[in-house]
Amino acid sequence: MKTKYEDIVGLRNHLLNAILLVAATLGIPSLGISLSRAMFMGWQPVMTVQILILIALWLLWLGRKRISYIARAISLMVIFWVVTYGGLLQFGLIAGSKLFAPLYTLLCVFLFDFPLAGWLMVINILSMALLGFAATQHWVKFDVDYQVYAYHPLPWLNVIWNLFAFNSIIAFLSWRMLERLRNNEEQARANADYLQKITANVPGVIYQYLLRADGSSCLPYASSKLLDLLGVAPDQVVDDAEPLFAITHSDDLPTIKHLIAKSARQCEAFRAEFRVLHPEHGSRWISCHATPERVDNGATLWHGFFTDISRQKANEAELEENKVLFQRLFERLPMPLGVVNRHGRIVELNSRFIQTFGYTNAEVVTLDDWWPLAFPEPLYRQHAMAIWEDALRDAQENGSDIQGLEYRITDKRGKIRTMVVSGITLDDGFLATFFDVTERKEAEQTLQASESRFRQLVENSPVAYLALDISGYILDANDKLCQMLGYRYEDLLDRHFNELSDPNYPIDFIDHFIDLQQMGSLPTGQELHLRHHDGGTLIALLEWGIQLDVDGQFVQCHCVLHDISERKRMENALLEAKMAAESANSAKSMFLTSMSHELRTPLNVIIGFAERLNIGEPEPLLALQKEPVAYILKAGRQLLTLVDDVLDLARIESGNLELLIEPVRLQVVLDDVMTYFKGLAAQRHIELLIVDGAQLSVRADASRLRQIIQNLVSNAIKYNRENGRVTILCQKTDGKVRICVEDTGLGIPENLQSELFQPFQRLGAETTHIEGTGIGLVLCRYLLEAMHGSIGFNSEPGVGSQFWLELPSAEAAEAFPASADTYFI
Identify the pLDDT of residue 434: 92
723 or 28, which is more confident: 723
**For residue range 351-382, what is the model confidence (pLDDT) as tens digits?**
999 999 999 999 999 999 999 999 999 999 99
Q: Give me the residues paired with residue 285 across strands.
A: 275
Q: Considering the domain boundaries, does residue 441 fall inside one?
A: no
**For residue range 693-702, what is the model confidence (pLDDT) as tens digits?**
778 899 998 8
> CB under 8 Å, gap of 24 or more: what pairs does 99-102 form?
101/125, 101/128, 101/163, 101/166, 101/167, 101/170, 102/170
Q: Which domain range does residue 381 map to? A: 333-436
Alpha helices for 655-747 (secondary structure H): 666-683, 702-718
Same domain, 633 and 774: no
Pairing between β-strand 270-278 and β-strand 282-294 as defined by DSSP bridges: antiparallel
Same domain, 306 and 390: no
HSE at residue 759, side-chain half, CA atoms within 13 A, is 7
- CATH (domain of 220): 3.30.450.20
Alpha helices for 202-266 (secondary structure H): 226-230, 242-247, 253-266
Identify the pLDDT of residue 577: 82
3-state secondary structure 397-442: HHCCCEEEEEEEEECCCCCEEEEEEEEEEECCEEEEEEEECHHHHH
Same domain, 608 and 674: no
Identify the pLDDT of residue 277: 92
Identify the pLDDT of residue 200: 66
Q: Strand order in 697-700's β-sheet?
A: 697-700, 658-665, 821-824
Least confident of 76-85, 163-172, 803-812: 163-172
Q: Considering the domain boundaries, does residue 191 fall inside one?
A: no
Bond preceding residue 29 cis, omega within 30 of 0: no
- CATH (domain of 621): 1.10.287
Residue 715 CB: number of other CB atoms within 10 A?
22
Cβ distance 659 to 822 under 8 Å? Answer: yes
Please tell me the distance from the alpha carbon of residue 716 to that of residue 728, in angstroms, as a whole number. 10
The percentage of residues in the chain with a pLDDT greater than 70, rounded to a whole number, is 72
Residue 641 CB: number of other CB atoms within 10 A?
16
Check whether 385 has a pLDDT greater than 70: yes
Please tell me the distance from the alpha carbon of residue 355 to that of residue 331, in angstroms, as a whole number. 12
Mean pLDDT over 20-24 rounds to 78
45 or 735, which is more confident: 735
Identify the pLDDT of residue 123: 67
Q: Considering the domain boundaries, does residue 598 fall inside one?
A: yes
Same domain, 819 and 699: yes
Phi, psi of 67 (to 5 degrees): -90, 135
Q: Considering the domain boundaries, does residue 492 fall inside one?
A: yes
Identify the pLDDT of residue 88: 54
Please tell me the distance from the alpha carbon of residue 337 to that of residue 326, in angstroms, as a whole number. 12
95 — pLDDT class (breaks 50, 70, 90): very low
3-state secondary structure 331-394: HHCCCCEEEEECCCEEEEECHHHHHHHCCCCCCCCEHHHHHHHHCCCHHHHHHHHHHHHHHHHH
Please tell me the distance from the alpha carbon of residue 567 to that of residue 571, in angstroms, as a whole number. 6
Same domain, 604 and 643: yes
Please tell me the distance from the alpha carbon of residue 426 to that of residue 620, in angstroms, as a whole number. 126
Please tell me the distance from the alpha carbon of residue 334 to that of residue 195, in angstroms, as a whole number. 61
Same domain, 306 and 352: no
Identify the pLDDT of residue 345: 92
Mean pLDDT over 40-51 rounds to 71
Please tell me the distance from the alpha carbon of residue 720 to that of residue 686, in angstroms, as a whole number. 8
Candidates 473, 471, 487; CA nearest to 531 is 487
Please tell me the distance from the alpha carbon of residue 146 to that of residue 132, in angstroms, as a whole number. 10
Cβ distance 476 to 466 under 8 Å? Answer: yes
Mean pLDDT over 15-32 rounds to 76
Average pLDDT of the chain to the nearest whole number: 78
301 — pLDDT class (breaks 50, 70, 90): very high
Please tell me the distance from the alpha carbon of residue 534 to that of residue 122, in angstroms, as a whole number. 117
Cβ distance 543 to 525 under 8 Å? Answer: yes
Cβ distance 208 to 225 under 8 Å? Answer: no
146 — pLDDT class (breaks 50, 70, 90): very low
Q: Considering the domain boundaries, does residue 446 fall inside one?
A: no
Mean pLDDT over 298-312 rounds to 91
55 — pLDDT class (breaks 50, 70, 90): confident
Identify the pLDDT of residue 380: 92
Check whether 241 has a pLDDT greater than 80: yes
Mean pLDDT over 113-121 rounds to 62
Number of domains the chain is built from: 6
Identify the pLDDT of residue 178: 55
Q: Considering the domain boundaries, does residue 325 fall inside one?
A: no
**For residue range 311-327, what is the model confidence (pLDDT) as tens digits?**
888 888 888 888 888 78
Q: Considering the domain boundaries, does residue 116 fall inside one?
A: yes
Same domain, 574 and 556: no
Least confident of 14-28, 73-87, 96-110, 417-431: 96-110
Same domain, 241 and 384: no
Please tell me the distance from the alpha carbon of residue 306 to that of residue 287, in angstroms, as a whole number. 6
Amino acid at 587: A
268 — pLDDT class (breaks 50, 70, 90): very high
Same domain, 48 and 79: yes
Residue 727 CB: number of other CB atoms within 10 A?
18
Same domain, 573 and 583: yes
Please tell me the distance from the alpha carbon of residue 33 to that of residue 50, in angstroms, as a whole number. 11
Identify the pLDDT of residue 558: 85
Identify the pLDDT of residue 774: 63
Rounded to two decimals, what is the model's pTM?
0.34
Cβ distance 661 to 822 under 8 Å? Answer: yes
818 — pLDDT class (breaks 50, 70, 90): very low
Same domain, 152 and 41: yes
**For residue range 526-546, what is the model confidence (pLDDT) as tens digits?**
788 898 888 888 899 888 788
Identify the pLDDT of residue 805: 93
CA dihedral 191, 197, 202, 206 (to 10 degrees): 50
Check whether 261 has a pLDDT greater than 70: yes
Q: What angle do CA 295, 298, 300 make, to 5 degrees?
A: 50
Q: Considering the domain boundaries, does residue 195 fall inside one?
A: no
Of 655, 679, 704, the position where a domain reaches its end is 655
680 or 236, which is more confident: 236
- Provide the CA 196 distance to its chain's centre, in angstroms: 43
**For residue range 483-522, what is the model confidence (pLDDT) as tens digits?**
888 999 888 888 888 888 888 888 766 655 556 555 555 5
Check whether 767 has a pLDDT greater than 60: no
Same domain, 159 and 209: no
Please tell me the distance from the alpha carbon of residue 82 to that of residue 494, in angstroms, as a whole number. 111
Q: Please state at what angle helix 8-41 crosses helix 45-62, rounded to 10 degrees.
A: 150
Mean pLDDT over 649-658 rounds to 67
Of 285, 315, 345, the position where a domain reaches its end is 315
Least confident of 222-231, 441-450, 598-607: 598-607
Q: Give the 3-state secondary structure of residue 822.
A: strand
Cβ distance 437 to 419 under 8 Å? Answer: yes
51 — pLDDT class (breaks 50, 70, 90): confident
Please tell me the distance from the alpha carbon of residue 466 to that of residue 528, in angstroms, as a whole number. 15
Of 436, 471, 491, the position where a domain reaches its end is 436
Tally of residues, the chain: 825
Alpha helices for 237-337 (secondary structure H): 242-247, 253-266, 310-332
Check whether 812 has a pLDDT greater than 50: no
**For residue range 728-753, what is the model confidence (pLDDT) as tens digits?**
999 888 889 999 999 998 888 887 77
Which residues neighbour 254 within 8 Å (Cβ) at sequence distance 6 or greater? none
Cβ distance 561 to 544 under 8 Å? Answer: no
Candidates 207, 209, 204; CA nearest to 308 is 204
Mean pLDDT over 601-613 rounds to 73
Please tell me the distance from the alpha carbon of residue 753 to that of residue 761, in angstroms, as a whole number. 11
640 — pLDDT class (breaks 50, 70, 90): low
Q: Give me the residues paired with residue 641 across strands.
A: none
